[in-house]
Structure 1
Amino acid sequence: MKGSLRRFLIVDQGLVPGLCTGLINGAIAWWLNLGSPELAFRGEPGLVGDFLITAFVLPLITCLIVSPLVIRQVRKGQVGALEPARSMAARLYSRSSWLRGMLVGLLGMVIALPFLLLWSWQGPMVVTLNEYVGTKVVFTGVLGALVTPLIAWWALVYASRPGSTLKSIQHGSS
């Protein structure tokens, strides 16, 4: 992998989005739960459901936003195109952004499960708002840093194909 591609995927599409995602989700979590001095791990509302929903929705939204942005960067020459790939991952990109986003959302939920299992065994069953917000910042930051490079790579693969367009990426045409 070339240095510029490595930097693009790790820094531009990993570390920076991870940091931004964590801070934005922490602010949202704080604002939505401002009146709650404590939050339960299980129950209604519970942190388990919140984290699983976040683990699914965050990658879905990220896919819908990042995919067209990366393709535009390739089209404008801001990011170099890749050599054409014939792998299964490259073929997956011929599916719609919604479908890819849901697939990565399911991956996000798989990533969340060990975190939630560890918490259920070792963590407190009730947390303060500050503990919740801190955990949400770290969790969503790490999740964003893990899934965004994958989404960006898929977009790079797609944009590197002859005849690819932004319209076809959104609707799943080859």
Structure 2
Amino acid sequence: MSKIIACIDGSLVTNTVCDYAAWFSDKLSSPIKLLHVIDKPKAKAPQDLSGAIGLGSRETLLNELVELEERKGKIELEHGQILLREAKNYLLEKFSIDAQSFQRHGSLLETIMGMEEDIRVLVMGKHGTETEHDSSKVGTHIENVVRALHKPVLITSALFSPPKSFLIAFDGSQTARIV
């Protein structure tokens, strides 16, 4: 059965994303699946630390860096689980909806495209954690997701308001004619 996928990241619009997902769930009689994706770390320029420190010190430092990255990964994983648990509790308490939840490592776009067949509607916030304090910018993932996904996508604003009308973007292409 196709699902309402609610993308959450802990930004200010997380509850609003849940509100819209609950609205769609009610109108379409579809279950909700909460999704949190832990982004792959951005590629960093390789650092040659060998000239700056002695050989013994280099090995110790590299081991410490590996341990630090491991701790960071565990913290990100735990943080994501907390976000999912809070969103799940929010839906249960406010709407009596027992949503499924899952977390992935990697690219949000790749994760969504990998589950496209199971998506009825994708709900995501206009602003993610990186752009939530600048209302002139939209989230960094929105354009790529909207262009790639061949399913309905709802981009939420900060406050929930039940939809009363909608807009269809029609460019005359073959895909648009099919829709």
Taking structure 1 as the reference length, what is the TM-score of the superposition? 0.29
Going by fraction, where is strand more abundant, 1 or 2? 2
Larger RCO (CA within 8 A; separation ≥ 6): 1
Higher helix share: 1
